[in-house]
């Protein structure tokens, strides 16, 4: 009975979450920048690995809906609610994180990449620290050869939730800006020092993209 109640609760949350996301973004104006960094891979039919700070997740759910992108979601209890919403919006989901279920999560992402799916990872998730780049996405990039495309997200008119990631919720009739950065390629034989250097470089790129997109969170 408990499992049944939980299943109904999760299913209801998925339906409601999908409706709320769709309703909100019918009023939001979207501006994208830096698409020239992504389009060559689209034209070649090559998947990519998107990285973005966890706080910018909500607008990106709308922008990349129904594209078959596979998202890494925490195995924590709240992750099931997120999973149900994402699946209803056309995303694939792999459960895991850098702190729990990491190996399974990375293997799932690698399998999804081999099947031709884009991958999405928030390198500071699932619980922070905010804007601290963990190495999971770099590991997937090294093992698959896929390019990493960093994304910055900001809103001219939005709320930041009082949470570890300062989660961005655009206001109705606001403008959301999404900025794509240049690709980062990680060689298969990359050393730990090279991985760390890539992490620092991507952290700076994400900071620059945050400024470009009008993100108001203090870095």
Where residue 88 sits, what CATH number does that domain have? 3.40.1130
Domain count, the chain: 1
Task: Please report whether residue 46 resides in a domain.
Answer: yes
Task: Please report whether residue 218 resides in a domain.
Answer: no
Q: What is the pLDDT of residues 78-110, one digit of tens each?
A: 778 889 999 999 999 998 765 544 677 889 999
Task: Please report whether residue 62 resides in a domain.
Answer: yes
**The whole model's pTM is what?**
0.91
- How far is the CA of 209 from the CAs of 57, 152, 159, 180, 217, in angstroms? 15, 5, 19, 7, 12
Q: What is the DSSP letter of 100?
A: S
DSSP E strand stretches across 68-133: 70-73, 92-95, 119-121
Task: Please report whether residue 219 resides in a domain.
Answer: no
Q: What is the pLDDT of residues 116-149, one digit of tens each?
A: 999 999 999 888 899 999 999 999 999 999 999 9
**Statement: residue 3 has pLDDT above 70:** no
Q: Which domain holds residue 197?
A: 2-213
């Amino acid at each position: 009975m408990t499992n049944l109640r939980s299943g109904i609760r999760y299913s209801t949350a998925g339906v409601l979450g999908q409706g709320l996301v769709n309703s909100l973004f019918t009023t939001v104006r979207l501006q994208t920048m830096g698409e020239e960094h992504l389009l060559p891979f689209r034209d070649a039919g090559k998947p990519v690995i998107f990285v973005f700070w966890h706080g910018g997740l909500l607008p990106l759910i709308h922008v990349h809906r129904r594209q078959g992108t596979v998202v890494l979601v925490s195995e924590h209890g709240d992750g099931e609610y997120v999973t149900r919403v994402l699946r209803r919006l056309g995303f694939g989901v792999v459960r895991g994180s850098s702190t729990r279920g990491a190996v399974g999560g990375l293997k799932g992402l690698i399998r999804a990449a081999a099947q031709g799916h884009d991958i999405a990872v928030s390198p500071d998730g699932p619980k922070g620290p905010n804007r601290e780049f963990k190495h999971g996405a770099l590991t997937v990039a090294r093992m698959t050869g896929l390019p990493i495309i960093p994304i910055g997200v900001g809103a001219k008119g939005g709320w930041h939730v009082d949470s570890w990631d300062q989660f961005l919720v655009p206001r109705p009739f606001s403008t959301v800006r999404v900025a794509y950065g240049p690709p980062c390629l990680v060689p298969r034989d990359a050393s730990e020092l090279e991985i760390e250097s890539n992490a620092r470089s991507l952290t700076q790129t994400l900071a620059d993209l945050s400024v470009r997109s009008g993100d108001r969170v203090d870095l």
